[in-house]
Amino acid sequence: MAELEKDILFYERLYPINIALRKLSELVDSTLIAAGSDAYTGALDVYAYAKINSGVSGLEELRGMLGNRFKGRGVKKEAEAPEEIEITNL
The reply to whether 53 falls in a domain is yes
In the chain, the number of structural domains is 1
- Within a domain: 88: no
Q: Is residue 18 part of a domain?
A: yes
Q: Residues near 69 by Cβ (< 8 Å), separated by ≥ 6?
A: 43, 47
Asked whether 62 and 46 are in contact (CB, 8 A), the reply is yes
The C-alpha atoms of residue 50 and residue 78 are separated, in whole angstroms, by 28
Report how far residue 51's alpha carbon sits from residue 8's, in angstroms, rounded to the nearest whole number.
64
Position 20 in a domain: yes
Q: Going residue by residue through the chain, which has 90 residues, state the pLDDT in tens, using 9 for 90 and above.
A: 899 999 999 999 999 999 999 999 999 999 999 999 999 898 888 878 877 877 777 777 777 777 777 776 655 566 665 666 666 655
Instruction: Give CA separation, 36 vs 28, 39, 41, 63, in Å.
Output: 12, 5, 9, 20
pLDDT at 81: 59
Model pTM score: 0.55
Residue 48 counted as domain residue: yes
Residue 62 belongs to what domain range?
A: 2-69
